[in-house]
């Protein structure tokens, strides 16, 4: 059974959720027997009486008692798909016992939740942050958790602060991309609201830049609500590295210290652990924790090679990090081909796969570049089969394919059409060059002599969209 709404509200737009579900069912999700639809907007929907049921007509006739199903601690709880450096997204599997123990424990401690508090996490529930810290952690802890349907900037840049004031929110948890967008849209906006109930404010999803950290601290937290810069991943299930409010001194851009029980370490590329402080390396975890991923759905070997084979007896996170003179961690970002767009992990390979599905495309290469609001933007280099007649039309078609295959979040911000991509002799695309061009640093391309087709560099530079 699928439970969905007719539409979701997203700022001024209504998203046709039922229509998306209809399409999935039609495409061959043969296991689906019923679709239970909650009427949110009452907008127009297609109705198949064989499988569709209205929520309001169905629940009225239901028993109010429902016996809990007994589960084994290691039974699967959910699968959440996440991007890696290669191939299709992996289905990260979490199980009942460990995940619930850890999200409850970390929620209570990181947010210092007290009875009677009102907590609000603005994440999308479809992201691991929504799973762990809107639903499981807070509800297991008996907390009051706020759910918000909308976007930060609608109807204006004061929306979040208005909700905080109205519901007297005590703990507020959001992402740097939202902070930067709100900061740009209304530097003084938070001052118009009573935010005196806020005791802890959190950040998650990507490195928070220093300017955004200070704005969040001063304008939102009024220098009186510690920022918890929480580092973790879909695979870790819950928060791993974070300051603890009132216990750890905060430092801009630093996720700081691991939670009790978590054992991070930094390795050099040869897998040698870097001892002591003031070092930088690949972030690994030495010892398992309750909500560690159990497998990648349908492919256990892939889980092993992806996370546990890079370095012996270690979980490898895919992130690089620094440890300062006091042992605090600062996360630098992904070391693999993964772009972090507004806190969403997007594999460059996935976007390339989607673009390549357009029949007019020969091949493509996707890289990230610094973006003021999103953290990173998506830059695509596309080689077409034939001469392009209408670039704008072609661009729109490519964006439509990406939206359909992955989702609107993966739409390239920039598409540069090229006659060839820079290739090494072994046929690998030289992403380093493409990354530099996308960043506007054409004077820092480095050695291009190992390219099979060094002549393409001038064309790439001339056509750069910067
Ligand atoms: C919770 C979540 C995981 C990746 C991770 C990092 C990046 C997350 C922070 C961060 C710097 C942070 N799960 N990341 N939190 N980088 N500081 N506080 O985001 O699976 O979607 O992404 O996100 O690169 O590996 S996720």
| DSSP structure string for 204-248 | ESSPPPHHHHHHIIIIISTT-S-EEEEB--TTT-S--B---TTTS
Cα 323 to ligand 1 centroid, rounded to whole Å: 17
Tokens 């296991």 map to which residue? 31
Closest atom, ligand 1, to C-alpha of 338: 24
CA distances from 352 to 88, 253, 349 (A): 11, 31, 5
The conformation of residue 432, written as its DSSP 8-state character, comes to H
CA 311 to chain centre: 25
Nearest to 118 by CA among 68, 175, 168: 168
Sequential DSSP letters for 142-210: T-EEE---S-TTSS-TTHHHHHHHHHT-SEEEE-HHHHHHHHHH-TTGGGGS--TT--EEEEESSPPPH
**Atom 22 of ligand 1 has which residue's CA nearest to it?**
233
**Pocket residues for ligand 1 (CB within 6 Å)?**
82, 128-129, 204-207, 229-234, 255, 317-319, 331, 333-334, 340, 343, 345
**Per-residue confidence (pLDDT) for residue 251, from 0 to 100:** 96
Taking the C-alpha atoms of residue 427 and residue 156, their distance in angstroms, rounded to an integer, is 49
**Per-residue confidence (pLDDT) for residue 135, from 0 to 100:** 98
- End-to-end CA separation in angstroms for the chain: 47
Tokens 């392009």 map to which residue? 388
Closest atom, ligand 1, to C-alpha of 129: 1
pTM of the model: 0.86
Cβ atoms of residues 434 and 442 within 8 Å: no
Tokens 């290739």 map to which residue? 423
Cα 353 to ligand 1 centroid, rounded to whole Å: 23
Cα 313 to ligand 1 centroid, rounded to whole Å: 22
| Of 235, 296, 343, best ligand 1 pocket probe by most atoms within 8 Å of the beta carbon | 343
The conformation of residue 91, written as its DSSP 8-state character, comes to E
**Per-residue confidence (pLDDT) for residue 87, from 0 to 100:** 61
Taking the C-alpha atoms of residue 211 and residue 208, their distance in angstroms, rounded to an integer, is 8
Cα 396 to ligand 1 centroid, rounded to whole Å: 30
Taking the C-alpha atoms of residue 390 and residue 410, their distance in angstroms, rounded to an integer, is 23
Cα 173 to ligand 1 centroid, rounded to whole Å: 14
**Per-residue confidence (pLDDT) for residue 353, from 0 to 100:** 85
Average pLDDT by stretches of 10, the chain with 466 residues: 95 94 92 96 96 95 92 98 74 98 98 98 92 98 95 92 98 92 91 98 91 96 98 97 96 96 96 96 97 97 95 95 96 87 88 91 93 95 93 96 93 96 77 92 84 91 93
């Amino acid at each position: 059974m699928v439970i969905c709404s007719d539409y979701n509200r997203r700022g001024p737009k209504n998203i046709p959720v039922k229509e998306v579900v209809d399409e999935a069912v039609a495409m061959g999700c043969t296991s689906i027997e019923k679709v239970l639809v909650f009427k949110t907007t009452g907008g127009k929907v297609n109705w198949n009486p064989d499988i569709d049921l209205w929520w309001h007509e169905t629940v009225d006739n239901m028993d109010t008692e429902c016996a809990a199903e007994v589960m084994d601690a290691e039974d699967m709880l959910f699968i959440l798909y996440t991007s890696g450096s290669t191939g299709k997204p992996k289905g990260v599997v979490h199980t009942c016992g460990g995940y619930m123990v850890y999200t409850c424990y970390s929620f209570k401690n990181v947010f210092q939740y007290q009875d009677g508090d009102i907590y609000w996490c603005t994440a999308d529930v479809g992201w691991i942050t929504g799973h762990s810290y809107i639903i499981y952690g807070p509800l297991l802890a008996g907390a009051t958790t706020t759910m918000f349907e909308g976007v930060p900037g609608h109807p204006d840049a004061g929306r979040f602060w208005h909700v905080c004031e109205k519901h007297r929110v005590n703990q507020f948890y959001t992402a740097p991309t939202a902070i930067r967008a709100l900061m740009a849209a209304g530097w003084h906006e938070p001052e118009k609201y009573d935010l005196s109930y806020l005791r802890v404010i959190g950040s998650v999803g990507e490195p928070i830049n220093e300017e955004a950290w200070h704005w969040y601290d001063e304008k939102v937290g009024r220098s009186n609500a510690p920022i918890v810069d929480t580092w973790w991943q879909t695979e870790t299930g819950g928060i791993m590295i974070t300051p603890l409010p009132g216990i750890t001194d905060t430092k801009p851009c630093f996720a700081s210290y691991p939670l009790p029980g978590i054992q991070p370490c930094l390795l050099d590329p040869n897998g040698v652990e870097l001892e002591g402080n003031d070092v930088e390396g690949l972030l690994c975890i030495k010892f398992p924790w309750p909500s560690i991923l159990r497998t990648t759905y349908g492919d256990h070997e892939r889980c092993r090679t992806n996370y546990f084979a890079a370095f012996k007896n270690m979980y490898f996170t895919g992130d690089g990090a620094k440890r300062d003179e006091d042992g605090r961690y600062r996360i630098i970002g992904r070391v693999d081909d993964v772009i972090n767009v507004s806190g969403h992990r997007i594999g460059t390979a996935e976007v390339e796969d989607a673009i390549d599905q357009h029949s007019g495309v020969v091949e493509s290469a996707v890289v990230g570049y610094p973006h003021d609001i999103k953290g990173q933007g998506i830059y695509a280099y596309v080689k077409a089969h034939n001469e392009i007649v209408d670039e704008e039309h072609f661009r729109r078609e490519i964006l439509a394919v990406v939206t359909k295959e992955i989702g609107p979040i993966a739409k390239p911000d920039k598409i540069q059409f090229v006659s060839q991509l820079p290739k090494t002799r072994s046929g690998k695309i030289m992403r380093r060059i493409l990354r530099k061009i996308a960043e506007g640093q054409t004077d820092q391309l480095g050695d291009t002599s190992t390219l099979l087709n060094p002549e393409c560099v001038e064309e790439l530079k001339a056509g750069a969209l910067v």
